[in-house]
Structures are given as C-alpha cells and as structure tokens.
Structure 1
C-alpha cells in the first residue's frame, strides 16, 4: 500500500522505527509478526489507521523479505533505510523519525513481542489523555514476570550494582535497587503518572511531541539515549506507565555483552551525568 501525502502533512496512523545491527533473525521475525498481529487488532477497531514501518539497517541485516511481505499483506507500508553504516541506536531511530508523518510514533526494539492488544491500548490512552506525550508499557520477561524498567534518577552506585554486580551480591542492595526501579509503584494494575525515566525498548509517542524534541540526542551511540529522551520529554508533555499495554522483552544487560558494551555504557553514562547532574551514592 502506498500513501500519497503532502510534505509535512500528518496522516491518521502510526509510524514504527526498528533499528538493527546484526540482529537475531528469528527474534526479529517474531517481533515483526507480533507487530502485524497487533496492527490487525488496531485496524479492526480504527479502520482509518495506517502503519508505516521503517527498518533501519545499521549493518548485518539479512534478507527479511518474507517478514516484511507478511506485514505488507496486513496493509502496512514497509521501508528499509541502509547504507549509513552503524550510526548508533538514537541516530538510527532519528533517520526514521525525521521522515515520519503520522499521528503516533513507536520506537521499538527488535527483541520485543507485542501483545495483540498493545497498539489499541496505547492509541486509546493517548486519544483520551491529551496531556500525555509518551506511553510506556508493562514489560514482561520470558517467565511472565515484570521487568522493572521505569526508573528514578540514577546514582553511579545504582548503575554499578544493577549492571555489573553478580546476582548473589546484588541481594545486599535489594532495597536500593527496588527504589531505583520504582518497584513500590510499578505493578500490573495501576497507571503511574510521570515516571522520571522509561525504557527505550518500547516508547509510544505522540509524534508531535517527539518531533518537538527532535528525537534522540545523537551524541549517545548506545545506552542512556532513552534516559536523556525521557527527561527531556517531561519538559513538554506528561509520561504515563500504562500496564494495559503489554509487551515481552528478550533483552539483556551491558555487562553480559562484553567489554565493548561496557565501554560504551560508561561513555554514555558520563555524557548523561554531565548533562543532567551527577549523583554518586
């Protein structure tokens, strides 16, 4: 399906950006399959909605023709942005955000499975709460438990304990981590207004808000770009944790990905704290 629109014109629909670098093919295909199912449910409720997927290839994208054709069969438009090299997570998404012309925009990781009702719930929440610019979902793990990915403002100790200490040692900091992860507020039932920081694995934006913020700060190559964007979003709109919007996350931490990721994590943390203020303990 091709949609003709004037430059800068907003369409009644949802744009989605997925940035990949040497992705797990099966997991990416599953993410796109779950997106198609969620879009089917959304389109049934809102027939005028259109889905525009932009897959940003930062390197190593295999042939995804079958998965993209399946999405197109559901009525979506799909495009691939390639040739820019590995420009990083935030800059990759910005390539899609700059060209988006929809009412809503979803920043989506390639390791997320959407609940079939996820898009409906997110759209309906934003339609009924005009002051909200960003919805974050209930994020579950593969065993069905909540991943506490909403955050209070971090200290260096919080980041070190959560990211790098072994599980047997982290238990001595359980109370501290619970506070940082907002475990006193995040649950299966209650909407939480204005969590300070939310995860970049699934950020459902009102596109006008995201455009006003000019997307992600491109100075972060990887890590903390979602912390930065969350804090800047509070300056122009409200953020809501909406547990009726549900996704499954297959991701892992920086410490489990090797020394290169640890260095990128440290570099981005330094940039984040320099911008927003240092908290040590």
Structure 2
C-alpha cells in the first residue's frame, strides 16, 4: 500500500540494470526521488522514472553519493526519508514496519531494516572503520536492537533530524558517508536495527561491475577513509590509509584478478592523492 509519510531517495550512476526492480518494489503512490550522477543512459532513465511516477534530478557531473542524497532529500516534504541503494528491493511490509518502529521508538534517530542478500542471507554491519572499537558482538540480532552504526544501503530517518544535522557531509564523495552520518545521527538519539522490515540488497551491483568502475570507486573509498579518520581524531589518518593501500596493492589478487587489480591500484592512487589534500570531495 502507498505511504505518503516516506520519501525514498536513490542515487543512480549507470544503474539501469537494477533500478527497474527497485522502483517496482516500491508501493505505488510512495514518493520517490532518483538523483542521477551523469549517467550515459539519461534517456532510458527518464522513461523509467516517468513510468513509475518518480521525480528525476539529473546532474551534469558526478557530484558523489552523499551530496546527491542531499539533493534528493531537499526535494522531499514527508516526515520520513529512506535512502535506498538502486540495487536494493523493498520486501512486502518493509515501509510499514519502519514507520511502526519509528512510532514505537520515538527517541531513535535512524534505522536499518533487516538487509538480506539475493540468497536470503542476512548482511549486518557490525561496526565502522571510523570507530573500530565500537562493534556489535555476538550472533546476528533476531529482534529489534540498538546498534552503533548504520549500513548505507538502506537508511531510514526523520527528515527533521536529517536536516538538523546538515545531511550527509558534502566533503565525502563516496564511501564512509554512512558511518559519518550514523555518528552524527547518534548525537540526537540511538540507532536501531528493525528486524521486521526486510530489504534485499544485491551489494556492489548499483553500477556496472567493470574494472574501470571498480578503480573509480576504490579511489574515492581511500580518499574518504583518510578524510573521515581525520575528522574523528585518528592521529595519522593519511598514513593509516596509505599503509592499508600498500598492503592491498601487493596482495596476490592484484596480480591474478583483473578487476581486483584495478580496484587495488585505484585504492592506492586514492590514498596517495589524499596524502596531498586530505581526502575531501574535490568539488
């Protein structure tokens, strides 16, 4: 059933292989905003969003994931926001369960649904590289539970709180923006895992799985890690990122697996770049 109290925001980058299934999973009448980061298939994307009645915001260049989420949120007028990856699909009753959780736990600032992979296995984010000492210990939760960090593939929150904290940090192009948002949301209330809300996430399929795309993502992953570690007081954020990048680059998969080689080299280039400017969003 439609829900006019939630706006779903998704960011696309050549995501036509997965976006139709995501939009199909959304209950009809639920507001959706698709923010596109300069994909090569804008015509097909426009036809798709028209078919599902979604708002489409076309960027002329790739502004990054977090900044694009902020653009989408700025178009929302509903009480709640759900930031949903284009390679994720809502399962029946997911929105209703998240809304009910927000009513049951009014002090909670942000929620994750139960995130499953395509085989039905639960994917659960136990901790953050920004705050490595704060980790979920023990078995996967089987009921609603307070968590230390939210996974970025499906973040549900109140629009008022999101706006109060200033949204996603625009200095983070992509990766670790969910950790940073989680930590800032947490200043306004606990974070929670909602067991009854289910989302299937085809992790890593939001964009084509090509070596060049892997290198692009890894480059910004390293830059974002250096910036985020520094933001949260790590004594040597750029050095820590560079050391991690070197170990990845000299691993055996760099020699034998083409896509992994591109990814590891991209990460090393990103770490070296962050050494010069700290890893902030180049825009």
TM-score band, normalised by shorter chain: 0.7 to 0.9
Inter-partner Cα distance in structure 2 for 1:266 and 1:65: 32
The residue that corresponds to 2:145 in the other structure is 192
Does residue 265 of structure 1 match 2:265?
A: no
Does residue 17 of structure 1 match 2:26?
A: no
Does residue 52 of structure 1 match 2:20?
A: no
- Select the residue among 31, 34, 38 that pairs with 2:22: 31
The residue that corresponds to 2:258 in the other structure is none
Following superposition, the deviation at residue 138 of structure 1 comes to 1.0
The residue that corresponds to 2:178 in the other structure is 226
5+ long unaligned stretches in structure 2: 245-283
Does residue 99 of structure 1 match 2:75?
A: yes
Following superposition, the deviation at residue 153 of structure 1 comes to 5.2
The residue that corresponds to 2:188 in the other structure is 236
Inter-partner Cα distance in structure 1 for 2:230 and 2:173: 16
- Select the residue among 138, 152, 156 that pairs with 1:204: 156
Structure-2 change in CA distance of 1:154 and 1:96 (3 Å): closer
Following superposition, the deviation at residue 198 of structure 1 comes to 1.1
Q: 1:126·1:132 contact (CA, 8 Å) conserved in 2?
A: yes
Q: 1:148·1:181 contact (CA, 8 Å) conserved in 2?
A: no
Inter-partner Cα distance in structure 2 for 1:104 and 1:251: 24
Inter-partner Cα distance in structure 2 for 1:184 and 1:242: 17
Instruction: Name the stretch that deviates more: 129-138 or 265-274.
Output: 129-138
For residues 12-58 of structure 1, the C-alpha deviation after alignment (integer angstroms, 9 at most, x for no partner) is 611111111111x23110011011xxx25xxxxxxxxx622111011
Q: 1:152·1:182 contact (CA, 8 Å) conserved in 2?
A: no
Q: 1:148·1:182 contact (CA, 8 Å) conserved in 2?
A: no
Inter-partner Cα distance in structure 2 for 1:16 and 1:222: 19
Equivalence map 1:1-281=2 (5 Å): 13-23=5-15, 25-35=16-26, 39=27, 51-60=30-39, 61-62=41-42, 63-64=44-45, 67-72=48-53, 78-152=54-128, 154=130, 182=136, 184-187=138-141, 189-193=142-146, 195-252=147-204, 258-278=214-234
Structure-2 change in CA distance of 1:12 and 1:54 (3 Å): closer
Q: 2:8·2:84 contact (CA, 8 Å) conserved in 1?
A: yes
Inter-partner Cα distance in structure 1 for 2:18 and 2:215: 24
C-alpha RMSD of matched pairs (Å): 2.8
TM-score by length of structure 1 reads 0.73
SS at match of 1:124: helix
Following superposition, the deviation at residue 129 of structure 1 comes to 1.7
SS at match of 1:51: coil
Instruction: Name the stretch that deviates more: 54-63 or 269-278.
Output: 54-63
Q: How many residues align?
A: 229
Following superposition, the deviation at residue 135 of structure 1 comes to 1.0
Structure-2 change in CA distance of 1:255 and 1:150 (3 Å): farther
SS at match of 2:230: helix
Q: 1:192·1:242 contact (CA, 8 Å) conserved in 2?
A: yes
Q: 1:209·1:237 contact (CA, 8 Å) conserved in 2?
A: no
